[in-house]
Amino acid sequence: MHHLEFEKPVLELEGKIAELQHMSQSDDGVDMDDEIKRLRSKAEKTLRSTYQNLSAQEIVQVSRHPERPHFGDYIKGMIEAFTPLAGDRTFGEDEALIGGLGRFRGRPCVIMGQEKGSDTESRIKHNFGMARPEGYRKAQRLMDLADRFKLPVLTLVDTAGAYPGVGAEERGQSEAIAKSIEKCLRLNTPIISTIIGEGGSGGAIAIATANKVYMLENSIYSVISPEGCASILWRSADYAKDAAEALKLTAKDLKKLGIIDEIISEPLGGAQRDHTAAIKSVGDQIEKGLKEMDELDGMVIRARRRQKFLEIGNDL
């Protein structure tokens, strides 16, 4: 497991436990059960208190943890009959943003999101979850499909941002994102977005202009990365920690600001420690959100989404 710097005390305890376990298994047969039990509870307590008191910068690290469940894990864990659909019908297929049809707890839906990949090969294949215009145009296409067949749209957001490259600019990255936002707003079916890791700026909002926006406890959602912000406003990326704090990019802060609707709790020690539990929590929250909109007419769903965004910031 990839460990983060601030997890060191827990790591040390876990090391000791392993050592004792090894000793008690050896021939001299010293019974270490009580000590192991004690250390286990201590490790758990330390993990709990560490994760309850994470700084914004530490949450940034957790949100980017390479072993957090990614888009593909959620598909495997909560979508049946997933049928990927490819291509923007204009230029190409963008594997940074995956989408398709699938059944979520029995309901047919359109599901899409950025996939970061989990090893070097898959990271390159998915361009580290940074979509080009083709990805956003595919998203628009899939939203049209959802609208036509009255299917809810579920999006899982996990991206450092839209890809900054010459080709992406030439093919209209700005326009692709703008049109995606417009398409989200025009949907006559429910759209629910969950930030599962990084919600990076325009690349995130392009598929997160939703009726319900949820965030996993240790995910982030921001207009700019703390490093980018620090290098502009503090003139040095060394101030990323200060920028992370100042940007108010954690789920807790964003709930307070009225930018997101709910925070989804993560398993003890973060989603990376228990994929199954994290994915189930996300699924439960999405199901709740869908049920809240079950009886609503398409026009009402669309009007409420618009109203919700119009009201953001009005009470601050």
Q: Is 187 in the site for another protein (CB under 8 A)?
A: no
Task: Decide: is 312 part of the binding site for another protein (CB under 8 A).
Answer: yes
CB of 280 to another protein, least distance (A): 27
Contact 156, 192 (CB under 8 A): no
CB 16 within 8 A of CB 35: no
**Identity of the residue, 173 or 285, whose beta carbon is nearer to another protein in the bound complex:** 173
Interaction between residue 91 and another protein (CB under 8 A): no
> What span, in angstroms and rounded, lies between the C-alpha atoms of 276 and 95?
24
Q: Is 90 in the site for another protein (CB under 8 A)?
A: no
Residue 178 sits in the site that holds another protein (CB under 8 A)? yes
Neighbours of 32 (CB within 10 A): 18
- CB nearer another protein, residue 11 or residue 185: 185
3-state DSSP call for residue 17?
Answer: helix
Pick from 110, 229, 264, 293: which binds another protein (CB under 8 A)?
229
CA angle 155, 189, 199 (to 5 degrees): 20
| Strand positions, DSSP E, the chain | 79-84, 97-104, 107-114, 153-159, 191-200, 212-216, 220-222, 262-264
How many residues lie near another protein (CB under 8 A)?
53
Helix (H) or strand (E) holding 304, with range, is helix 298-311
Q: Which CB atom, from 24 or from 57, has the smaller least distance to another protein?
A: 57
What would the two tokens of residue 149 be?
Answer: 């067949």
CA distances from 143 to 46, 97, 181 (A): 44, 13, 11
Q: Residue 300 or residue 312: which is nearer to another protein going by CB?
A: 312
The answer to whether 238 contacts another protein (rule: CB under 8 A) is no
**202 belongs to the binding site for another protein (CB under 8 A):** yes
Q: What is the dihedral of CA 144, 145, 151, 157, to 10 degrees?
A: -70
Q: Is 81 in the site for another protein (CB under 8 A)?
A: no
Query: Hey, which residues between 150 and 169 contact another protein (CB under 8 A)?
Result: 162-166, 168-169
DSSP lists the bridge partners of residue 213 as: 193
| 247 contacts another protein (rule: CB under 8 A) | yes
Does 175 bind another protein (CB under 8 A)? Our answer is: yes
Question: Which residue's CB is nearer to another protein, number 85 or number 178?
Answer: 178
Q: 170: which residues sit within 8 A by CB, 6+ positions away?
A: none
Q: Which of 46, 61, 209, 211 binds another protein (CB under 8 A)?
A: 209
Of 25-33, 147-155, 243-251, 266-274, the window that binds another protein (rule: CB under 8 A) is 243-251
CA distance 258 to 279: 24
Least gap, CB of 175 to another protein (angstroms): 4
Angle at 174 between CA 150 and CA 142, to 5 degrees: 20
User: Does 298 participate in binding another protein (rule CB under 8 A)?
Assistant: no
Binding site for another protein (CB under 8 A): 162-166, 168-175, 177-179, 181-182, 184-186, 201-202, 204-206, 209, 221-224, 228-229, 232-235, 239, 242-243, 246-249, 254, 257, 259, 306, 309-310, 312-313, 316
